[in-house]
Every structure is written in C-alpha cells, then in structure tokens.
Amino acid sequence: MQILQKLVPIALLTFVLSSMLAMGLSLTIGQIITPLRNVRLVVLSIVANFVLTPLAAIGLAALLRLDQPFGVGLLLLGTAAGAPFLPKLAQLAKGNLAFAVGLMVLLMVITVGYLPLVLPVFLPGVSVNPTKIARSLFFLMLVPLAVALAVNARFPSVAARTKPLLNRISNLSLIALVLLLVVTNIKNVLAVFGTGGILAGLLFIAVTFAVGWWLGGPTTDTRRVLALGTAQRNIAASLVVGSQSFSDPKVVVMVVVVMIVGLLILMPLSRMLVKG
C-alpha cells in the first residue's frame, strides 16, 4: 500500500503536466482571444464560476451539514474552474466550440490567481499557504500551457505529432490517478456514502449547470457551453491544492468522488442536449 501511495503524486504530476501541454499544443493565441470579445458573456461567465459556484458549494455544505473535509473538497471544486474536458463536452453537445476553448483557458488562468486569494477567506479556521498554492498552480499549469502555446506557434508540425501522445498520457494518467486514490483511500471513499457527500455532489452539479444555463446568453450554443463549463470543474487544480495543502485525505476523496459523479452525468447530458 505504501508503494501505491508513493505513486499518487507521480500520477497527479503526469496528469496535470500532460493535460496542460496537450491543451497548449492544440491551440493558438487567436483561438483563445477571438471568442472572448463578447465582454458581457465573459463577465457573466466569471460571475457564474467565481461568485455563484463557490457560494453554491458553501451553501450545500452548510445545508447538508457535511463533515469539514468533505465541505473543503466541495469548496475546492467550487473555486477551481476551467476544466480541460470542456471542449469535448461542448463538441458532444453541439455547443459553440470556439467559445468553449476561449472560456476554458480564461477560467483556468483566473483560477491560478483566484484560488490562493479566496481559500483563506472562505476557510478562516483552516491553515492554507496562499503563496505555495499560487506557486504550484503557476508552475504546474500556466508555465506548461505557455510553453506548449509557444511550441505550437513556432513548430506546428512538431505540435501536431506530439499532441496525440500527450492526450493518451493524460487520459491514462487520469485513470491511474483515480484508481490509485480510490484504492489507497478505500475506507474514506466508502465513508462518503451515508454522509451526504454523494447528494452534495449531485446537487452541486445540478445547481451549477442551471447557473451556467441561466447566464449563458440568448443563444443556445453559448448556453450549452457555459452550463457545461460551470458544472464541470477543474480537477487538476483541485487535486493539486487538495493534496498539497490539506493533510486529511477525505478532502481529495471528495474531489475525486464529485469528479466521477460529474463525468457520469455530464457526458450523457451533453448528448441529450443535442436531441433536446
């Protein structure tokens, strides 16, 4: 079991780095900036993800009287936006793919600065190191993204050949990470059942999806993107902060449980939106 526990940070590092590099190799600066020229939609997206979603996490944790570690895990998800899965979900839902790409990068960049600032405010009784959080997110997420964007701009053929490999590494390392976290924390995972944690995750996804749909603008294609982008949180940022800043494994377990529930709901929901 100790060997498996030592593999967890390796799998986490592999997932975060490979997903950020793969994202950067598939994008250009123009693809990121152009869809964000709709200022009103950008402002509403920020409000949905960085005001209403954290408040929803705090409200649900209080309403369901979650144990503090589970509440912290839900709050981490509530404050971490910009999921790498968003373009895929938007594609399945026939949403505005250009807006999905720009929104994903915008939310992820804001998350790096936002998370270290608000966590000490939302968790006054919990000791967190804002500088350490910011440094980890900056070097693990923004730096690889910037490097990959530069490579794609300068050597597009190299980027095109490398991206499929990084995508496979990202997918496999995420699967490995989830399995390792479940196996090494099996007692804590089982302990989530009956605590309200699963219900909190379901309600969190439903509320945030509704918020994104409500604020997503007059067109259906942007509504779909913001709804999915608000409900699907940034698992990489949540796990980085959860594993490095909190000693209680239940925090990371809650993040993983809600992530799994979210994917099980949002993947088929994306397809249903097209039929609807």
Question: Is residue 272's pLDDT more than 80?
Answer: yes
Question: Is residue 276's pLDDT more than 70?
Answer: no
Dist. CA 252–CA 249, nearest whole Å: 6
What Å distances lie between residue 228 and 35, 101, 207, 215, 239, CA to CA? 17, 12, 11, 12, 20
- List the one residue out of 147, 177, 175, 176 whose CA is nearest residue 162: 147
- List the one residue out of 77, 100, 105, 72 whose CA is nearest residue 235: 77
Structure tokens at 5: 């526990």
| pLDDT tens, position by position, 220-266 | 989 999 999 999 998 888 888 888 888 888 898 899 888 888 878 88
Structure tokens at 235: 């698992």
